[in-house]
Amino acid sequence: MNRFSIRAAVVGTSLLAISACDTAYPVTVIGENGMVFRGAATNTFLYGGSFQATNGNAVCTGTYDKFADISTVSFPVVCNTGLRGVGTAFFQSETAGSGFVTMSDGSRWQFIFGRGALAI
Domain ranges in the chain are 22-119
Paired with 14 in beta bridges are none
What average pLDDT does range 24-36 have in this prediction? 93
In one-letter notation, the amino acid at residue 50 is: S
State pTM to two decimals.
0.77
Q: Say if residue 3's pLDDT is above 70.
A: no
What average pLDDT does range 18-46 have in this prediction? 85
Q: What is the CATH number of domain 22-119?
A: 2.40.128
Segments in 2-51 forming alpha helices (H):
3-19
Q: Please, what's the largest Cα pairwise distance for the chain?
A: 65
